[in-house]
Amino acid sequence: SSEVLEAIENVIQGVVQSLAQKKAPVLTVANRTDWGNIEFKDSVGLQMIPGCTSKQIRSDCPQSAKRFALMLKILSMIYKMVQSNTYATKRDIYYSDTQLFGSQSVVDQIINDISCMLKIPRRSLHVLATTKGFVAGNLSFTEEDGTKVNCTCSATVFTVPSNVQGIKNLTSHAKFILIVEKDATFQRLLDDDFFNKVSPCIMITGRGIPDLNTRLLVRKLWDSFKIPIFSLMDADPHGVEIMCVYKYGSVSMSFEAHNLTVPSVKWLGLLPSDLKRLNICRDALIPFTKQDENKLASIQKRPYIASQPLWKKELEIMATSKLKAEIQVLTSLSSDYLSRVYLPNKLQFGGWL
């Protein structure tokens, strides 16, 4: 905490010095969303390059003056929270003055900018994200406040903790971790008692694009147990994108890649090549939209795809067919095909990439 307070004090000292010299204070923030500032490393994923380009948030410029003020406002809130050892969610910060901030996304971006500017992980700033992810299966742990969570004894879903760094005493006999893209598939696997039938496993879902806490938990599980991690996604560009966020990280959070990415994640399904192999009826597939085509073309150009020739092949199958499929398409073969046939066969015979 002293490191965080010192980092904030240094920023404020810079502002005060500028004012003393009758200069307009400026905050310098890295260009987080610029692919030119990102490099791909097999062992880490997408990470920010050391000498990356930055942008200035000036206090004397009409376009950025409000953002400058909001950054100082949130810095002061973080300073108080770290001093008093209290926490707030990003939502709490937004609702402390909705008129001032204007929207939740403004708060989210500023907090990420501050984290990047101070080079301090967001959770060390005492700002928690609202969690949307779920976890179930062969896992028990103790939350920071001492609450014991045991996912093992029932088909109950637990929300991913909002302070993943604080959890301890993780125990599990799981043989693998399964990341599931969507809530509906996750619930279906729970109903079918999948994580007990095949072999003990941990299931986790970010319910679409994963939030920070879900990604932190996947990383913590990997660090703790070093067991295989498989991903089960729709056979569409959106599903591939989500899987890449878990495995390689995202451009906007590349400054925190070391804590978030899990490069060992394997693509278990649904593979575009599975659709042909399983003779899925063409009528059950969905034609690409223009948006799908653009998304797929963008993914194919990314630096990490070049290092994955088998993934590249699957993406080419998708691009050629211009068809996509949801995991639910397997119910056209039988209602429990996913949990009874598809996943057990894939896991037994190594059908992942």
Catalytic annotation, residues = 95
Residue 148 makes CB contacts below 8 A (sequence gap 6+) with 140, 141, 142
Strands laid side by side in the 176-180 sheet: 158-159, 134-137, 201-205, 176-180, 229-232, 266-269
Q: Burial of 345 by CB count in 10 Å (0-12 exposed, 13-18 middle, 19+ buried)?
A: exposed
Hunting for tokens 């630096």 — which residue is that? 303
Helix, strand, coil abundance in the chain, percent, nearest 5: 50, 20, 35
Residue among 210, 171, 174, 218 at smallest CA distance from 194: 174
Contact 77, 88 (CB under 8 A): yes
Residue 209 CA to its chain's centroid (Å): 7
Distance, first Cα to last Cα, the chain? 42
